[in-house]
């Protein structure tokens, strides 16, 4: 699966330039209600991702000489690139696999995407990644039951953000229970023989 299908393009993404002031960055994050936002250079290169934690650490840090907290006036002198603490949101390129995206999504709520030159092109959200794997699971279960593989009618809970409800929802379980063939429950090695459940007709 090409991740370009899931890509939220740069034109639709809120981002900061690395030379924006501390105040500008804080105001933009507050306006959009984000907890993290991509940072790029004026030339379009991906620089990193700044989080609300980066701003908080800077606000709470003290001047090593005076041992006093930074004032907002001091913050006007700071740039967003000055408060980045490592690259906690490593970018990926278009050829990346969905499995690799899933691994990244375990630690990031979005994954920045860059081209071969390192230019920022957009993001893939964790929600879209989870939706993809949930749809794949539902398609496989429906295929085993010999029914339609269209998962859209079973994805309503997922669209509301309830992942567990989507994967283990009543329609999903009903799809399995309506399977005409027998269902085998696997047991561990050395355990009792497999139990066979035949769906009620």
pLDDT value for 176 = 42
Is 175:154 a contact under the CB 8 Å cutoff? yes
Query: Which tops the pLDDT comparison, 43 or 155?
Result: 43
pLDDT classification of 136: cutoffs 50, 70, 90: confident
pTM, two decimals, is 0.64
User: Environment class of residue 71 by beta-carbon count within 10 Å: exposed (0-12), middle (13-18) or buried (19+)?
Assistant: exposed
Mean pLDDT of the chain: 75
Cα(166)–Cα(185) distance, rounded to whole angstroms?
22
By C-alpha distance, which of 35, 75, 74, 71 is closest to 51? 35
Average pLDDT over residues 157-172: 47
30-41 tens-digit pLDDT: 898 888 999 999
pLDDT classification of 144: cutoffs 50, 70, 90: confident
By C-alpha distance, which of 125, 115, 112 is closest to 38? 112
Average pLDDT over residues 156-163: 49
> Does the pLDDT value for residue 113 go beyond 60?
yes
181-199 tens-digit pLDDT: 444 444 445 544 444 444 4
CATH 2.40.10.170 assigned to domain 3-125? The reply is: no
Is 57:80 a contact under the CB 8 Å cutoff? no
> Does the pLDDT value for residue 84 go beyond 50?
yes
pLDDT classification of 122: cutoffs 50, 70, 90: very high
The H or E element containing residue 8 is strand 8-9
Q: Where are the domains of the chain?
A: 3-125
49-79 tens-digit pLDDT: 999 888 888 877 755 554 455 666 777 788 9
Where does residue 80 fall: left (phi above 0), alpha (psi -120 to 50 degrees), or beta otherwise? alpha
> Does the pLDDT value for residue 46 go beyond 60?
yes
Is 45:119 a contact under the CB 8 Å cutoff? yes
pLDDT value for 146 = 60
């Amino acid at each position: 699966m090409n991740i370009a299908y899931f890509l939220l393009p740069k034109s639709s993404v809120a981002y900061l330039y690395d030379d924006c002031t501390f105040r500008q960055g804080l105001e933009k994050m507050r306006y959009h209600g984000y907890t993290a936002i991509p940072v790029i250079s004026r030339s379009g290169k991906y620089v990193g991702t700044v989080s609300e934690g980066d701003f908080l650490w800077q606000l709470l840090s003290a001047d090593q000489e005076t041992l006093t907290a930074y004032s907002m006036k001091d913050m006007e002198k700071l740039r967003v690139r000055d408060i980045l603490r490592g690259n906690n949101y490593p970018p990926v390129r278009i050829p990346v696999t969905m499995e690799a995206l899933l691994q990244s999504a375990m630690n990031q709520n979005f994954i920045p995407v860059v081209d071969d030159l390192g230019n920022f092109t957009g993001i893939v959200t964790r929600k879209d990644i989870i939706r993809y794997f949930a749809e794949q699971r539902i398609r496989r279960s429906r295929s085993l039951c010999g029914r339609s593989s269209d998962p859209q009618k079973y994805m309503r809970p997922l669209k509301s953000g309830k992942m567990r409800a989507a994967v283990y929802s009543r329609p999903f379980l009903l799809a399995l229970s309506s399977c005409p063939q027998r269902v085998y429950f696997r047991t561990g090695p050395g355990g009792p023989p497999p139990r066979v459940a035949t769906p009620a007709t």
